[in-house]
Amino acid sequence: MPDAVAPPADGRRSDTLPDAPAGPPPGADAPMLELAGLHKRFGPEREVLAGIDMRLHAGERVALLGESGVGKSTLLNLIAGLERPDSGEIRLAGQPVHALSEDAAAVLRAREIGFVFQAFHLLAHLRLWQNVAIPLLLAGVPAAEARPRAEAMLARVGLGDRSLSMPRELSGGEQQRVALARALVHGPRLILADEPTGNLDPRTGGAALALIDEQVRAHGAALLMVTHSLQAAAIAERRLRLTPAGLETET
């Protein structure tokens, strides 16, 4: 990102985001994310998550492995406050995600989380730069500042010349890179990535991983990345496997 549009290294949050909701300040070594006893079922028959415990600290990169259908995307949705657990606790930057109203969860998500969705979820009627600018606009960044920042992040994923394109004009891999740019543009402290290189060739995937890794370092962010790719799992210092029995550490 060029200096002209880079946010200040500190004071970024106070410059661009509304005041943090009142809450106990997390201790210096408190985890960025803490999951305790998470349960989620879909209907009476389908228990997907049966007691998930996890801690993720700032600067930590974790790969989440597991068979298709085991509940990886569901777990990310719960963490982001997009779905509710049946029981258990989710604390993100000291905030109880499981107990927040939908509006409060949306504010927390906009403030703290960058989410690379498996299905991209780009808004079809918005140009690429507008899609990427959404997290900035939600955080109260003026449009005049949001656009150059969004365009700079598009350039970082190799789509600097496609700023005015519409999502339907892009290949799946290109849409995935836009989704990555949107997830990272506001410098989130927690990056949730659902198979972020699933549609990318090894070279483009490597560039995407390098960008994720760089953002983790630059912002002291925590990364939880669902992946089946060894290349992607290699940037993580911890690998967890989700099974019907729970989360296991993979060696």
Ligand X SMILES: Nc1ncnc2c1ncn2[C@@H]1O[C@H](COP(=O)(O)OP(=O)(O)O)[C@@H](O)[C@H]1O
Does residue 130 touch Mg ion according to CB under 5 A? no
# residues near ligand X by CB under 6 A: 11
Binding residue for Mg ion (CB under 5 A) from 16, 33, 54, 73? 73
Which residues within the stretch 71-110 sit at the binding site for ligand X (CB under 6 A)? 71-74
Residue nearer to Mg ion on the CB measure, 118 or 165: 118
Smallest gap from residue 170 Cβ to ligand X (A): 23
Q: Does 176 bind ligand X (CB under 6 A)?
A: no
What does the alpha-carbon distance between residue 188 and residue 135 come to, in Å, rounded to a whole number?
Answer: 10
DSSP string, 143-195: HHHHHHHHHHHHHHTT-GGGTT--GGGS-HHHHHHHHHHHHHTT--SEEEEES
Look at residue 69 and give the partner it binds from Mg ion, ligand X, none, a contact being a CB closer than 5 to 8 Å depending on partner kind. ligand X
Q: Which residue number, 19 or 249, has a Cβ lying nearer to ligand X? A: 249
State yes or no: residue 176 binds Mg ion (CB under 5 A).
no
Judged by CB under 6 A, the chain residues 40 through 59 that form the site for ligand X are 42, 46, 48
**Least distance CB 193 / ligand X (angstroms):** 12
Residue of 5, 50, 70, 155 that binds ligand X (CB under 6 A):
70
Q: How far is the CB of 163 from Mg ion (least distance, A)?
A: 29
Q: Which is nearer to ligand X, 73 or 95 (CB)?
A: 73
Q: Is 215 in the site for Mg ion (CB under 5 A)?
A: no
Look-up: residue for tokens 């989704």? 179
Q: Does 74 bind Mg ion (CB under 5 A)?
A: no
CB atoms within 10 A of CB 84: 16
Please say which residue, 65 or 141, places its beta carbon nearer to ligand X: 65
Q: Which of 2, 24, 28, 68 binds ligand X (CB under 6 A)?
A: 68
CB 128 within 8 A of CB 165: yes
- List interacting residues with ligand X (CB under 6 A): 42, 46, 48, 66, 68-74
- List interacting residues with Mg ion (CB under 5 A): 72-73
